[in-house]
Amino acid sequence: MAKAKPAVQKFRSFDGADYLKNSAMMLDYLDVAAQDPNPDVFLMALADVAKARGMAEIAKATGLGRESLYKALSPGAKPRYETIAKVVQALGGKLTIAA
């Protein structure tokens, strides 16, 4: 008698952009991610928010190419401050420093 193979479940990869429904939620998500000491966490959150809003729309608002944005916001990337500031501004946020 042959052994039955266990059923294999397939799961879709987690995509944070699927859960970001409004601007307030997006900006709160970025605020929390910015507090993580790992810069890749903020870049990933920024990419999630840009994707949720529409990467083409953010590219147009920033004057940057869509593909350039994907590259700049990928983990391990070293985007310029100017790029980050433009993306945050296009999302309706602003960069601040608080004590």
pLDDT of residue 2: 67
- The answer to whether the predicted template modeling score (pTM) of the entire model surpasses 0.85 is no
Can you list the pairs that 78-83 forms with residues at least 24 positions away whose Cβ atoms lie under 8 Å?
A: 79/43
Residue range 40-68, pLDDT digits in tens: 999 999 999 999 999 999 999 999 999 99
Distance set, CA 34 to CA 44, 70, 89 (Å): 10, 19, 15
Contact 55, 69 (CB under 8 A): yes
- Taking the domains of the chain in order of start, what are their residue ranges? 18-90
Average pLDDT over residues 6-24: 84
Q: Which two tokens stand for residue 5?
A: 């193979």
Take residue 76 and report the two structure tokens written for it: 């391990």
Question: pLDDT tier at 32 (50, 70, 90 boundaries)?
Answer: very high
